[in-house]
Every structure is written in C-alpha cells, then in structure tokens.
Amino acid sequence: MIARPAGLSRAVPALYSLALAALILGPLLGPGYLLLRDAVSTPRSFLTDSALGLTDAAARAVPQDAAIAALTSLLDGGLVVKAILLAALWLAGWGAARMVAALLPTTGLGPQLLASTVMLWNPYVAERLLQGHWSLLTGYAALPWAVLAALRLRRSARPWSPGSWCPLGLTLAAAGLTPTGALLATTLAAVLLAAPGGAGSRWPRLAVAAALAASASAPWLTATALSGAGAQGSDPTGVAAFAARAEPGLGTLGSLAGLGGIWNSAAVPATRTGLFAVAGTVVLLAVVACGLPALWRRRGNPVIAALAVVAAAAVLLPALAATGWGMTAGEWAVTRVPGAGLLRDAQKWVALAAPFYALAAAAGAGTLGRLGVRTSAGRVRSGQAAAVGIVAVLLALPDLAWGVGGALRPVHYPPAWERVAWQLRAADESGDVAVLPAGMFRLFPYSGDAPVLDPAPRMLPEDVLQTGELIVAAGTVEGEGGRARDVERLLLAGEDADGLARLGVRWVLVEHGTPGPLGQSRRTLDRLDEVYSDEELSLHRVAGDVAATGAEAGRRAASVVAHLVWAALLAGSASVLLAHHVRTGRGRGRADQA
C-alpha cells in the first residue's frame, strides 16, 4: 500500500470542509447581498450609536455591527458578510477534523471527514442559516477550536505565556462577534479547563481564560452597562415564543437531540416539516451512537468525559426550558435577572452538543468497520465505513445543499437606498431617523417570500429608531426601544411634527412597496419637508431644532475602547500564532534539508 503524504492528509480535511461550505451556501456566493429574516447585509454600514450598542435596545449585535461598519469603509458589505459566513462554515468543519485528530490520534482520514460532515451538515446549521443568524454561526464554528485551545492550555505549565493562551484568545474573540457566540465558546472552554488533570493547577488556566473571555466580551458587556438596556428586563412572553419547538414525530427532546427544534417553524428545511425529519434524526443519532462504546472506553480522558456532559446538558436543559415549569422559571429570570433575555432562545444552546457528536461519529467509524461484512479483500475498513456514514448524513438532510434548498439567494437593493444615504451624509444634520410603515420587518418585492429585518438601520449613516418589537406565531414580543415606540405612536396618530423634534427625530423615511401600518401618518408627513421621493423610498425632514439624544462623548469613547480591546485580542492572537507557525515551518524546512 502506498503511504499518503502527511501534508496531503492534513490538507484534505480543510479542502473537504471548504467544499462542503461552498455547497451549503451555493447561490449566495454570487453577486448581491444577504437579506433573509434576521440577516441584513448592505453595501456600507456606519459607526452609529446603534452599531456600538448605546441605544435603549439590548446590545445583541455588538461588536458585529461596529466591525462590519469598519470593514465596509474599505470593502463592499455584501462581500464582507459572505466571506465571514463562508469562513465560519469552513472552519467549523475543519476544526472538527482537527479536534478528532487531537483526541483520537489513531483515527484515520475517513473518520475525520465524517466528523467534519456531522459538524457542518445538520439541522442546526440549516435552521440558523434560514433564520438569518449568520454571525451566530461564527460562535458555532469556534467550538471545536475552543476544544483544541483548551487542550493546549491544559498541557501547558505556563498558561500565561502567549504560546499557551493565544489559541484560546483568538477562538474566544472570533466567537465574540456576537454575545451568544462568546458565551458558547466561553462555556465550553471553561468546562474543559476546569476538568481534572492537565499540567499544574487548574486555577491559573481558569484565571487566564476568564481574562480572555472578559476581553472578548468587552463590547457587549460595556454597551449593556452604559445603556442600561440589560437592566430593564425582557418581555416574559418571549420565553414561550422562543422556546424549542417539537418537530413532526420527534417531540421536543427528540428534535433537540437531532440538533433541530428552532422556535420559528418557517425557518426549517422542507425535509424537517414532515415525517422525513424522524428518518433524518434517526440516521444522525445512529451515526453518533455507533461511537459511544468507543468513547465510553476512553471515559478516563477528562476532556472526552467533559464534552459528553456538556452535550447531554445542551440537549436536556433546553428541553426542560420548554416545559411548563421551565417557562415559568424563564419568565421570572428575564424580568428580574439583568441580561437573562439573552437565554430565551433556548434551542441555540444545543450547539454545544455538536463537538461531541462529531467526535462520536468519528469514533463510530471504527465500530462501523468492525460490524461490516467481509468481502474478498477482507473486512470493511474504517475509512470505508466513514464514507458510508458521510453519505448517510448527507442524505439525511438533502435540502441543506445549494443555499438550503435555494432559500439563500443574494438580493440587489434598488438605487434609492444609496441616494437616501447620500442625502443624509450631505445634509450633515444631527437627529435620528424614524421609519414607516411601523414595525421592524419588511416584505419587499426584491427580498423574497420571507419577512426580513428593515435594512434601514444598517444602510443609513444616522441612527434609525427601532422598537425591538417582534411578531411571532404566538403574538407580539415587546422590545426595549421605548423612545422608538413613542415616535411610532406619534406618527401613526398623525400628530404635530413638534413632537418628533422633542423626541430627537430629524428624518422620517417612508419605505414603499412593503406592507405595514401607516395609520394617520400622512397628516404628519404633510407638515414636513420632502427632500427625496421615488417609487421605493421617500425621505422627509423635520425643520427647526431637534432635541439631542445621542450618546455622550464619554460613553461613546468607552464603547469604542471596549471594541478596540476585542479587536486587539483578535488581531494580536492571530499575529502571534501566525509568527509561531512561520517559525515552526522554517525550522521544519531546515531539518528536512539537513
């Protein structure tokens, strides 16, 4: 048998994961912008108070919005978002293969590729893509790398040395593109670092991890503290509205065990809306279950044991949260515990089970090989068994391919958006933007069949007022935007324009071609100056003095510093690791020459 070159073996999982990621995103990789439910990419974003998380709304999109604003000052926003999403999916699959190689070093290439497939090709990825949670998938992608980083830190007698903590710093900073991502990666890393064993005491490495987590989470922690939005509490009706959902024939626990069960029944692939969901879940769990005996024999490895405990908790706790008493406890928490509203979408935490699933699938390839029938060439090998597992996982969710059944397609904004943005930049007047029709979601002719978040807050250079109110199947979930609600009521009632000025509104943008309540707003608009109008958008100006409502200079400076801390951790850790890789490569090259 001809030996496979070591370099090729290392490269194959990365190339395979990249190919799978491209197959998943499919048509989205063409020209245009991502605009689907909660996902909004625009040609250019701006560093507004909203982007820094300094409005009365909860800081759910920091440092994401500020980072996109910085990058889109140099690059097209559609390209930036698609590049981040492609990189996230690629790294999720590659990281799973690397994790298997580290924890199960005797496994071959086939089981590593099976682990990559399980990490990438599952209902969690499909449903979060359909919901538009592209940035959450960066936190998901960080999980196998968090395992690798925790392994390095556990093996180091000097956890404070850059070579020891930089991998974890980079992982947590990348995951920290959103608050949820930071919590996912931090939780997994903390559990692994707290597990018994490793070099030296666990407390120094936990202290290092805590400092890194605080730095990675600095933007949203600072924004929450400065804005006070987290202390207001969340609407308790959101707990039931965002609870994990039972898919056909599976129940809530079965849906979560199969890495599905997102709250929005419209954000699921077609094959998860019928009894095929049962078949797909059975296939995925069977592939995972084949590896449980092998991992049980390795239960003495504290990292593997910890991953198993985390996976079990990630499935069971969201299932319990969807019960009657679980919802009661959740309602109490979101109204009384600052920041607890971040936990209400319970299904997103099932991501923590994915690394163990990938590891078990890889371990199961050996079991599948032992169960294989004999052929003229002998017993089926683990690589062949892994290939069978890969095909089974792919067929269990066939419509994840090509943009999740074509749902992920780029859109093209009409030129009116750029013209309005230019109008606001040219005017250079302080004051916020109110939007009509009322509500946060839109249904434009160019945006497809699913409601999408209003692109105005990310398209325009001024703060756009949003109530945060969400319309779900169970009813309405109120947001934290108190001033935005006051402005919305004023517009719908057709009141005098002076009220807008008192509330800090300089502009009113009317978005045509999308349904939504307009009330008596025409009476108010008739009292304003119309500065732009076409079939897509109309922009109206409030004359005279407008109350100042922007964040104070000190709060804004503190938020900017927090974002710079996060960016420094991301760039600094990456630079140190790159320099180490270059030095190692040169040393290996000199050794080969010798």
State the average pLDDT over residues 442-461. Answer: 95
Average pLDDT, the chain: 92
CA distances from residue 442 to 35, 98, 471, 480, 511 in whole angstroms, order as listed: 11, 42, 12, 20, 9
Q: Within 10 Å of residue 575's Cβ, how many Cβ atoms?
A: 12
CA geometry: angle at 338 spanning 333 and 342, to 5°?
75
pLDDT tens per residue, range 250-264: 999 999 999 999 999
pLDDT of residue 337: 82
Q: Which neighbouring-strand residues pair with 541?
A: 507, 529
Rounded mean pLDDT, 4-18: 82
The whole-number pLDDT of residue 340 equals 77
Q: Are 50 and 149 within 8 A, CB to CB?
A: no
Q: How far is CA 395 from CA 144, 203, 272, 357, in A?
A: 24, 45, 13, 17
Is residue 29 scored above 60 in pLDDT?
Answer: yes
Locate the domains of the chain by residue range. Answer: 6-30+76-406, 416-541
Q: Which residues are within 8 A (CB) of 291 and not within 5 positions of it... i.e. 6 or more apart? A: 359, 360, 361, 362, 363, 364, 365, 366, 367
Q: What is the reported pLDDT for 6? A: 59
Nearest of 328, 377, 321, 385 to residue 350 by alpha carbon: 321
Average pLDDT over residues 100-124: 96
Strand partners, 505: 432
Please tell me the predicted confidence (pLDDT) of residue 376.
40
**Which pLDDT belongs to residue 1?**
38
pLDDT of 27 > 90? The answer is yes
Q: What pLDDT is attached to residue 58? A: 77
Q: Is the pLDDT of residue 245 over 60?
A: yes
pLDDT more than 90, % of the chain: 80
Under the banding of pLDDT at 50, 70 and 90, the label for residue 473 is: low
Please give the pLDDT value at position 110: 94
What's the mean pLDDT in 204-233?
Answer: 87
The CA distances from residue 54 to 60, 549, 554, 563, in Å, are 11, 11, 11, 13
Q: Look at 125 and 224; give whichever has higher pLDDT.
A: 125
Q: Lowest-pLDDT range, 29-43, 149-163, 235-249, 578-592?
A: 578-592
Q: How far is Cα 59 from Cα 82, in angstroms, rounded to an integer?
A: 23
Q: What is the pLDDT of residue 234?
A: 76
Would you state the structure tokens that stand for residue 268, as one six-digit string? Answer: 């699921």
Decide which of 499 and 580 is more confident: 499
pTM value?
Answer: 0.95
pLDDT, position 400 = 98
**Region 574-578 average pLDDT:** 94
CA distance 512 to 170: 44
Q: Averaged over 115-135, what is the pLDDT?
A: 98
* Whether residue 105 has pLDDT greater than 70: yes
The answer to whether 483 and 454 are in contact (CB under 8 A) is: no
Indicate if the alpha-carbon torsion angle 522, 523, 526, 531 is positive or negative: negative
Q: How confident is the model at residue 594 (pLDDT cuts 50, 70, 90)?
A: very low
DSSP labels for 562-576?
A: HHHHHHHHHHHHHHH
What's the pLDDT tens digit per position in 337-379? 877 778 889 999 999 999 999 999 999 987 766 565 444 444 5
Question: Burial level of 336, CB count in 10 A (0-12/13-18/19+)?
Answer: exposed
> Which tokens sit at 532?
């732009």
- For position 2, what pLDDT does the model report? 45
Looking at residue 391, what is its pLDDT?
Answer: 97
Q: Tell me the percentage of the chain whose pLDDT exceeds 70.
A: 93
Q: What is the pLDDT of residues 152-194, one digit of tens each?
A: 999 998 999 999 999 999 999 999 999 999 999 999 999 999 9
Q: What is the tens place of the pLDDT at every residue in 372-427? A: 544 444 455 778 889 999 999 999 999 999 999 999 999 999 999 999 999 999 99
Average confidence (pLDDT) over 437-445: 95
Mean pLDDT along residues 440-461:
95
pLDDT tens-digit readout, 553-562: 999 999 999 9
Query: What's the pLDDT at 210?
Result: 98
For residue 285, give both structure tokens: 């769990």
Asked whether residue 290 carries a pLDDT value surpassing 90, the answer given is: yes
Average pLDDT over every residue of 507-536: 97
- Under DSSP, the state recorded for 39 is E
